[in-house]
């Protein structure tokens, strides 16, 4: 693939847009929101990342990468025009067909907004298939919020309720959003569980407490889905890093319902 654009989202997160060099591959490529690919910087290594763009936006794919190690640092050193490798899509995506006709609540934290973004834009591009849409998204600080321009777009949409928050101490002087941890703000928003689905992704500790908050709000396990892609490394079920009991996140996920998580060790 050829790297088309690089967007600096936060001090340590960049979004990469890339296109297939072979037109026939581009024409036949399709994926589901929530699926991932294995991206390669030649000579440096490869790693799995969720596809952050929507399948409704044809002609390119995007991924957002946080700089944390050798491979991610190599990605951050790339420039438009560079060539990268891509394999995919892999994994189980979000059950979007089951979500049709229902209210959707997206709950994201930090870079965990990337896979949610794929599904959210898919739903917004086919808006008449879904009910009310609510977005609750937070990060440690204002500078750690990703997709700032798109966040503003969602705020300005009349049919989307977008609530942004930052951790205490992470606010800027001109910050107009909430101040507090995502689970606390979610309880304040108090979404109705009636005919609704919650889609959440973020740091494991955030997911854990979001699930507790949702149960307080009377959401059932079957109404909650999450993606655990942060635990993946090889993406092929070989290295064992993403093993949870009898499941491997990369092979059996990365999307799981809360009901499915109940049968797995409490290690996510």
Residues 45-84 pLDDT 10s: 999 999 999 999 988 999 999 999 999 999 999 999 999 9
> Average pLDDT of the chain?
94
Q: What SS3 class is residue 18?
A: strand
For 114-241, where are the E strands, in sequence order?
133-139, 160-166, 178-179, 196-201, 224-227
Q: What is the CA radius of gyration of the chain?
A: 18
Statement: residue 264 has pLDDT above 80: yes
Cβ proximity of 40 and 83 under 8 Å: no
Confidence tier at 236 by pLDDT (50, 70, 90): confident
Confidence tier at 15 by pLDDT (50, 70, 90): very high
Q: Taking the model in full, what pTM does it have?
A: 0.95
Tokens of 172: 């800027």
Statement: residue 233 has pLDDT above 90: no
Cβ proximity of 91 and 35 under 8 Å: yes
More confidently predicted of 152 and 238: 152
Q: What is the pLDDT of residue 91?
A: 95
Tokens of 224: 């909650």
Statement: residue 8 has pLDDT above 70: yes
Tokens 């750690």, located at residue:
144
As a whole number, mean pLDDT of residues 90-95 equals 96
Tokens 């907004």, located at residue:
113
As a whole number, mean pLDDT of residues 223-231 equals 89
Q: What is the pLDDT of residue 268?
A: 58
Q: What is the pLDDT of residue 7?
A: 97
Distance CA 243, CA 150 (A): 34
As a whole number, mean pLDDT of residues 201-218 equals 95
Statement: residue 267 has pLDDT above 70: no
Statement: residue 266 has pLDDT above 80: no
The pLDDT tens digits of the residues spanning 23-49 come to 888 888 999 999 999 999 999 999 999
Burial class (CB in 10 A: 0-12, 13-18, 19+), 138: buried
Selection from 127, 63, 137 nearest residue 101 by Cα: 127
Statement: residue 224 has pLDDT above 70: yes
Cβ proximity of 253 and 227 under 8 Å: yes
As a whole number, mean pLDDT of residues 5-12 equals 97
The pLDDT tens digits of the residues spanning 122-159 come to 999 999 999 999 999 999 999 999 999 999 999 999 99
As a whole number, mean pLDDT of residues 169-193 equals 96
Share of the chain above pLDDT 90, in %: 85
What domains appear along the chain, each with residue ranges and CATH number? Answer: 2-90 (2.40.30.10), 96-227 (3.40.50.80)
Statement: residue 101 has pLDDT above 70: yes
């Amino acid at each position: 693939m050829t790297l088309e654009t690089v967007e600096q989202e936060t001090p340590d997160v960049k979004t990469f847009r890339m296109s297939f060099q072979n037109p026939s591959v581009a024409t036949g490529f399709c994926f589901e929101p929530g699926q991932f690919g294995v991206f390669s910087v030649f000579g440096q290594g490869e790693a799995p990342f969720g596809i952050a763009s929507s399948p409704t936006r044809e002609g390119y794919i995007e991924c957002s990468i946080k700089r944390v190690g050798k491979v991610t640092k190599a990605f951050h050193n790339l420039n438009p025009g560079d060539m990268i490798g891509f394999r995919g899509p892999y994994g189980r995506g979000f059950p979007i067909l089951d979500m049709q006709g229902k209210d959707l609540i997206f709950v994201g934290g930090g870079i965990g907004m990337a896979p949610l973004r794929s599904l959210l834009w898919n739903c917004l591009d086919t808006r008449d298939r879904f009910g009310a849409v609510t977005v609750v998204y937070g990060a440690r600080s204002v500078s750690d919020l990703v997709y700032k321009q798109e966040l503003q777009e969602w705020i300005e949409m009349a049919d989307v309720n977008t609530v942004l928050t930052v951790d205490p101490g992470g606010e800027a002087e001109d910050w107009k959003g909430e101040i507090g941890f995502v689970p606390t703000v979610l309880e304040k928003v108090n979404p109705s569980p009636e005919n609704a689905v919650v889609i959440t992704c973020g740091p494991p500790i955030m997911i854990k407490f979001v699930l507790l908050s949702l149960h307080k709000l009377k959401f059932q396990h079957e109404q909650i889905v999450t993606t655990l892609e942060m635990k993946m490394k090889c993406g092929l079920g070989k290295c064992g890093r993403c093993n949870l009991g009898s499941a491997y996140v990369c092979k059996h996920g990365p999307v799981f319902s809360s009901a499915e998580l109940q049968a797995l060790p409490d290690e996510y």
